[in-house]
């Protein structure tokens, strides 16, 4: 709906950053629900623990359904107040988008951005508990730091005037920042686990920069072709869901057993296997470190390279006198 609310490029980025900020609020709200549930009830058995998480799930679903109901009942169907390119309701063929190089560039950048954010979130809790051997509170505190930093950065991004070049610059900054964070996560030893809190700050900043600008590139791609924005957003969303699922599936296929840690000064794990009737000790980096450190870093690096090849044009930069929709 962002593309249909306004044609102004800066306003579209502002709305996208606002959306990302409220996504962080939703994530933090889930932690608040979990805190309340854990405070009210005490888990003494495995069944009690299951009931706690069941109540967290039920509460989250109920609150989500309430807001969906409010949106569906209180939001009127928008209609254009001004025509675009003669006929604003003209249908755009799917082939129109497949002929645009920018479509493939934006699709690749968006897919890689989602891989960075989603895959890293999937392995974050396992990393701080299994690899760094941090306290149980860390699996909630580290993500909370990431969400809070992302929220703050998303708010700050609303105060800027945006152009195509600025989108590329800020996305590249977030991507480069994630490369350094990924390298730090990959080599971080157990005896320096407290440094993960510092890395979480930069991960949160990088996530916000990449998500806000990456999604805003979709808006630049759509431009004034509002009849095709549903196809663009739908195909890109489908692509990111499939890629994230495949990435996690491939990573998990190598996670056959829980590794044992060599010592507190090492980020490498050791596994002893039986081969030709003899024990052979092999060392490798855990899949969790790959999923949280290496994969996001590589995806960030590739996405930054693709971003440099883009030609983003934001011709509609004048502020609107009145809203595009009524």
Instruction: Give Cα separations from 196 to 114, 125, 254, 291 (angstroms).
Output: 22, 12, 25, 16
Task: Check residue 4 and give its pLDDT.
Answer: 67
Query: Among 1.20.1250, 1.10.3470, 3.90.320, 1.20.1070, what is the CATH number of 2-80+107-308?
Result: 1.20.1250
Note the pLDDT of residue 37. 83
The domain ranges of the chain are 2-80+107-308
Enter the pTM of the model. 0.78
Buried b / exposed e over 120-153, threshold 16 CB at 10 Å, is bbbbbbbbbebbbebeeebbebbbbbbbbbbbbb
Strands (E), the chain: 260-261, 269-275, 278-284
pLDDT of 196 reads 93
Collapsing DSSP states into helix, strand and coil, what is residue 318? coil
Quick: pLDDT tens for 269-319.
Answer: 443 333 444 333 334 457 888 889 999 999 999 999 999 988 877 554 444
Quick one: how many helices (H) and strands (E) in the chain?
11, 3
User: Tokens 């996690």 identify what position?
Assistant: 248
Alpha carbon separation from 34 to 20, 53, 55, 305 (Å, rounded): 22, 8, 9, 40
Site of tokens 């392995």: 123
Instruction: Single out the residue of 107, 121, 166 nearest to residue 24, CA to CA.
Output: 121
The predicted-structure confidence for 228-259, as pLDDT tens digits, reads as follows 778 888 889 899 899 999 999 998 888 754 44
Residue 309 makes CB contacts below 8 A (sequence gap 6+) with 105
pLDDT of residue 107: 92
Give the residues of the chain that fall short of pLDDT 70: 1-4, 6-8, 77-90, 256-285, 314-326
């Amino acid at each position: 709906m962002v593309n249909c609310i306004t044609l102004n490029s800066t306003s579209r980025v502002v709305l996208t950053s606002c959306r990302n900020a409220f996504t962080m609020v939703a994530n933090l709200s889930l932690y608040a629900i979990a805190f309340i549930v854990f405070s009210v009830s005490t888990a003494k058995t495995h069944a009690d623990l299951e009931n706690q998480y069941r109540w967290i799930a039920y509460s989250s679903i109920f609150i989500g359904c309430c807001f969906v109901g409010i949106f569906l009942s209180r939001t009127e169907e928008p209609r254009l107040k001004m025509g675009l390119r003669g006929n604003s309701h003209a249908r755009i063929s799917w082939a129109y988008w497949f002929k645009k190089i920018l479509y493939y560039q934006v699709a690749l950048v968006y897919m890689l951005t989602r891989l960075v954010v989603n895959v890293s979130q999937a392995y974050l809790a396992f990393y701080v508990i299994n690899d760094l051997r941090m306290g149980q509170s860390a699996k909630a505190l580290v993500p909370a730091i990431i969400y809070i930093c992302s929220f703050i950065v998303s708010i700050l991004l609303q105060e800027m005037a945006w152009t195509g070049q600025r989108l590329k610059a800020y996305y590249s900054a977030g991507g480069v920042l994630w490369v350094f964070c990924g390298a730090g996560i990959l080599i971080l030893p157990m005896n320096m686990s407290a440094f993960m809190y510092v890395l979480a700050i930069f991960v949160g900043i990088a996530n916000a920069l990449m998500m806000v600008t990456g999604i805003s590139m979709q808006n630049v791609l759509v431009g004034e072709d509002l009849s095709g924005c549903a196809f663009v957003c739908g195909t890109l969303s489908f692509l990111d869901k499939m890629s994230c699922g495949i990435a996690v599936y491939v990573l998990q296929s190598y996670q056959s057993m829980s590794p044992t840690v060599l010592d507190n000064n090492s980020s490498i794990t050791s596994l002893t296997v039986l081969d030709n009737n003899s024990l052979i000790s092999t060392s490798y980096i855990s899949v969790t470190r790959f999923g949280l450190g290496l994969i996001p870093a590589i995806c960030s690096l590739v996405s930054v390279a693709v971003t440099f090849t883009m030609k983003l044009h934001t011709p509609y930069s004048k502020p609107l006198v009145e809203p595009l929709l009524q």
